[in-house]
A and B are shown apart, each in its own frame.
Chain A
């Protein structure tokens, strides 16, 4: 088990190297660079420009810049923003918790809704409920989440404000001013964004669990359980559901990047002060250090998420054994 974890972590190193080289190459190949903005101020002399280039290391060849960046990374230094002059780690540290709150809430909401929906539609296959959920899931897959966000804003803020004079849910930010840190105010602000972020996962996971349940319900041990005279509830919950849950665990690991994608868009709709908006601004500025920092950190989180999912799978399913040799 320990050897397995170590091996997986070692395998992640070349992957992260490829990711960082790929990203660095993309940023280097771009026709517009961050330093263009830094250099083209009218009152700079040629000497100033040369000094700015040297200060940031832009005068060196790209491979050297990459190695410098990598050396700093190994010292856990993700560089400094060219524009706000704050360390990248500090910027990420301010924003990552906000994104984490949004993602966790949305994901828990998705699981809490998707699991019972999926189980019921499998147990009552082709019932009215099942058919409704099937159609609804297609809508969930196909709806652009930012548009869903706009529709919820209209429904819960614009229309109520016109007719009854106040918004049912707020439409931007994490807190009202003066109430920073208040958990109830936060929950109130979380309502719409977390629904928007959750919808596609509710659609996907309820279908997935339905499929997994149908698969399990056809097995012999289910027939045995019924033949033993167990109640249908016990058969479904204790025997079928626990087995159907297993494939969901690996899906959860794979879906972390999609959760970040959804979060970035949701943050934009609801002006949520998270990583997505930080990234978005850095991309507009060409703030290479911040961009590289965020993307490499995301890649690390994705890799760790996959590893955690695999470990959780092994913990939940004793048939899985972590072999230390390949």
Chain B
């Protein structure tokens, strides 16, 4: 017979629902190793990761392998249809579209990753502080995120980029500033529950300082949601950057990005419909791969699925 006091600590659940012996649990191999193992079995996530690797390598190395003249204007060969050697055709200045896409890939991926760094640094810092300390910090942050959420993202971005200039730094910071609130809220809610756990109390009892508790005990337990949020944020940032560039508010010419190529492609959509096809496909494949990886990570970190 289990006494009500023991029941308060959830012991009945533990004794009744002991993990079946043939399942590996966190007890055996540790949470993150288990999550990694589960991720490796997520077929779409692996496929997505492979695709991303190919896209990243192509964007990094591709431009070095193609003839340098392909990036030069060649007005005698404007809008040539896709055919060898210009497998994706040429644009309004006679530049090779495939080459432009690879160049644009560098910009889109770099902006996506850097904006994510901003989002995660801001979001994790603010979310952790608000969740752990609560009170005034929490209140101020929540009201501030409310305010940002009440301004539709692309409106805020247009406001920021049209006022502060369209340099890469401004674009990255603006996207980061617009998107950090979601991450902050996710982190805050996880921290809120983690800080009440016994091991945090235990750490405090043995005299650990607040910074140690936050870094060693709280943050390590929020890593899963942070990684999921970070992955999905890369995709959202890439879409956001391309939308901004499509609106003519992205990084200025002559730097190519997938979005700005589409901005020009629409102008010539009647002359060269193929021009619009390829940059968008590049965005779709990249973001789709990222979302598959994000989905795999979410499944891998889902505490409800502790089985292999």
State the A residues within 8 Å of B (CB): 14-16, 18-19, 22-23, 26-27, 29-32, 138-139, 141-144, 146-147, 150-151, 153-154, 158-159, 161, 257-258, 260-261, 264-265, 268-269, 279-280, 283-284, 286, 291, 294-295, 298-299, 302-303
**Closest approach, in angstroms, between the C-beta of B64 and any C-beta of chain A?**
27
B243 part of interface (Cβ distance < 8 Å) = yes
0/1 interface trace, chain B 240-284, chain A, CB 8 Å (1 if under): 001100110000000000010010011001100100110110011
B11 adjacent to chain A (CB < 8 Å): no
Cα distance, A264 to B159, chains bound together (Å):
13
B81 CB to nearest chain A CB (Å): 13
Q: Chain B residues with Cβ under 8 A from A142's Cβ?
A: 235, 239, 284, 287-288, 290-291
**Cβ distance B271 to chain A, nearest Cβ, rounded Å:** 10
| Neighbouring A residues of B153 by C-beta, 8 Å | 257-258, 261
State the B residues within 8 Å of A (CB). Answer: 143-144, 146-155, 158-160, 162-165, 235, 239, 242-243, 246-247, 259, 262, 265-266, 269-270, 273, 276-277, 279-280, 283-284, 287-288, 290-292, 295
Interface contact B147-A286, CB-CB below 8 Å = no
**Which 9 pairs from chain A and chain B are nearest by CB?**
A30-B163, A147-B280, A257-B152, A142-B288, A260-B152, A142-B287, A299-B150, A18-B147, A283-B162
Tell me, in angstroms, the Cα distance from A178 to B143 when the chains sit together. 49
Tell which of B153, B163, B273, B277 has the most Cβ of chain A within 10 Å.
Answer: B163
| CB-CB nearest in chain B for A147 | B280
With the chains together, A264 CA to B157 CA distance in Å?
12
Chain B residues within 8 Å of A294, by CB: 155
**Which residues of the other chain, A, contact B148 by a CB distance below 8 angstroms?**
22
Give Cα distance in the complex from A16 to B148, angstroms.
11
For this complex, 11 residue pairs linking A to B, each with C-beta atoms less than 8 Å apart, are: A144-B283, A144-B284, A147-B283, A151-B277, A257-B151, A258-B152, A258-B153, A279-B155, A283-B162, A284-B162, A302-B149
Given contacts A26-B160, A143-B287, A150-B269, 9 further A-B contacts (CB under 8 A): A31-B164, A146-B243, A147-B262, A257-B152, A265-B154, A283-B159, A295-B151, A299-B147, A299-B150
Chain B, residue nearest A26 (CB): B159
Residue contact B243 to A144, C-beta cutoff 8 Å: yes
Q: Are B273 and A154 in contact (CB under 8 A)?
A: yes
Partner of A295, one of B159, B247, B262: B159
In the bound complex, do residue A146 and residue B291 qualify as a contact, i.e. CB atoms below 8 Å apart? no
Q: Is the CB of A26 within 8 A of B243?
A: no
CB pair B151–A23 under 8 Å, yes or no, is: yes
Check B269–A154 contact: CB distance below 8 A.
yes
Instruction: Kindly state the separation between the CA atoms of A1 and B277 in the bound complex, as whole angstroms.
Output: 53
Q: Contact check: which of A22, A143, A264, A291 meets B152 at CB < 8 Å? A: A264
Specify which of A23, A27, A29, A150 is in contact with B276 (CB 8 Å cutoff): A150
Min CB–CB distance A320 → chain B (angstroms):
21
Residues on the A chain within 8 Å of B295, using CB: 138
Which residues on the A side are within 8 Å of B165 (C-beta)? 31-32
Distance of A269 Cα from B246 Cα, bound (Å): 9
Chain B neighbourhood of A258, CB < 8 A: 152-153
Docked CA distance A258–B154 (Å): 9
A-B contact count, CB below 8 Å? 134
B150 and A15 contacting across the interface, CB-CB below 8 Å: yes
Which chain B positions have C-beta within 8 A of A295?
151, 155, 159
B228 CB to nearest chain A CB (Å): 14
Q: With A138-B288, A295-B155, A303-B150 as given contacts, are A146 and B246 in contact (CB-CB < 8 Å)?
A: yes
Residues of A within 8 A of B280 (CB): 144, 147, 150-151
A residues in contact with B284, CB < 8 Å: 139, 142-144, 147
Q: How far is the CA of A299 from the CA of B144 in the complex (A)?
A: 13
Contacts of B143 in A (CB 8 A): 14-15, 18
In the complex, which residues of chain A have a beta carbon less than 8 angstroms from the beta carbon of B162? 283-284, 286
State the Cβ distance, A261 to closest chain B Cβ, in Å.
5
Q: Which residues of A contact B259 (CB under 8 A)?
A: 144
Question: In the complex, which residues of chain B have a beta carbon less than 8 angstroms from the beta carbon of A14?
Answer: 143
Q: How far is the CB of B129 from chain A (nearest CB, A)?
A: 19
Residues of A within 8 A of B287 (CB): 142-144
Contacts of A23 in B (CB 8 A): 151, 159
Q: Given the complex, which residues of A lie within 8 Å of B242, measured CB to CB?
A: 144
Using known A-B contacts A144-B242, A257-B149, determine if residue A283 contacts B158 with beta carbons closer than 8 Å: yes
Give bound CA distance, A141 to B291, whole Å: 8
| Nearest CB of B to A9, in Å | 14
Asked if B149 and A158 sit within 8 Å, CB to CB, the answer is no
The docked-state distance in angstroms from the alpha carbon of A27 to that of B160 is: 8
Docked-complex contact B146 and A15, CB < 8 angstroms: yes
CA distance A305 to B276 in the complex (A): 36
Which residues of chain B have C-beta atoms less than 8 A from A303's C-beta? 150
Task: Decide if A298 touches B269 in the complex (CB within 8 Å).
Answer: no
Question: CA separation between A89 and B163, bound complex, in Å?
Answer: 23
Tell me if A265 and B150 are in contact (CB < 8 A).
Answer: no
B288 (CB) vs chain A CBs: closest residue: A142
Identify which of B163, B262, B265, B266 contacts A26 (C-beta below 8 A). B163
User: How many Å lie between the Cα of A264 and that of B276 in the bound state?
Assistant: 20
B264 to nearest A CB, angstroms?
11
A304 to B233, CA, bound (A): 28
Contact between B239 and A144 (Cβ–Cβ < 8 Å)? Answer: yes
Chain A proximity of B296: nearest CB distance (Å) = 12
Measured between beta carbons, the chain B residues less than 8 angstroms from A302 are 149-150, 152
